[in-house]
Amino acid sequence: MPASSSSSLEAALAARSDVWRGANGARPPTETSGFASLDARLPGGGWPLGALSELLLESNGIGELQLALPLLVRLTQADRHVAFVAAPQVLYAPALARAGLILNRSLVVEPHSAEHAIWAAEQLLRTPAYGAVLAWTRNLREADARRLQLAAEHSGNIGLLYRPARVAGSANIAAVRLRLARRDARLEVEVLKARGGRSGTRFFVDAPVALRVIAAAGQRDVA
C-alpha cells in the first residue's frame, strides 16, 4: 500500500470513535457497570461511553434491568438524567426508588410507533444531561443504528439497546453485545461481542429482589 494511502487510512480510523484499535494500547472511556464480573469482561472495565451496547433477550421481564441499575442509580445521584424508551415492562417506581434511583431525574417515554421510539432515543442520546438512554426495539435498521451511534458519540452518553435474542447472528455496530437468559432464577450473561474485551464467556448475576418485582409487573407491546 502506498504511504499516502496508508496515512489516509490511519487518519480515517483515528477520526472514528466507533472503531477500537487494539494495537494502540488505548482503552475506550467507560463507566463501571457496578458488577465486577461484568466489568472484567468489558473493554476498559465498564459500559463504553459515546457508544451503543446491545442486550439481547430470550424474553422480556427476565430481570434485564439489573445490569443497568447500578449505573442508573449512580448517574441520577450525580445529578445526571436517565431515560427509558419503549420499555415493555411497567416500571415499578417504588422498587426503583428503593434501589436508589432518583425518580425526578428519570424519564419514561412511551412512543406510539417504532419510528417515534428511534427518534426519541436519538434526541435523548444527543442531550448531555442524559448520561444513559435505555431503549427497547424489536427491529433496528442499520441506518437507525448509525443514527443512534452518532448521537451517543456527540454527547459521550451511554446507549443500552434491548433487542430480541434472534438477532444475535446479525451484523451490528455496537461496541458491546450481550445475550441474557434466565436460568434457575438467575440471570445468565453471555458476552457475544466486546471490542478489546473478553467475548465468548458466560457467567451469572443474581437478581436483587426489587428487580424481580419490576420484572413481575405488567407487559406492554414493544414497537
pTM check: above 0.85: no
Domain residue spans in the chain?
28-215
User: Most distant CA pair in the chain: distance in Å?
Assistant: 62
pLDDT digits (tens, 9 = 90+) for 66-91: 899 999 999 999 999 999 999 998 88
Give CATH for domain 28-215.
3.40.50.300
Q: Measured between alpha carbons, how far apart are the two ends of the chain, in Å?
A: 47
Which whole-number Å values give the CA distances from 221 to 47, 113, 173, 212, in the listed order?
27, 11, 25, 20
Please state, in angstroms and rounded to a whole number, the distance separating the CA atoms of residues 185 and 179: 16
Phi, psi angle pair for 22, to nearest 5°: -65, -25
DSSP strand pairing (106-109 vs 51-57): unpaired
Mean pLDDT of 30-37: 94
Residue 34 has pLDDT above 50, yes or no: yes
Q: Which secondary-structure segment (H or E) carries 202?
A: strand 202-205
Confidence of residue 43 (pLDDT cuts 50, 70, 90): confident
Nearest to 46 by CA among 54, 38, 56: 38
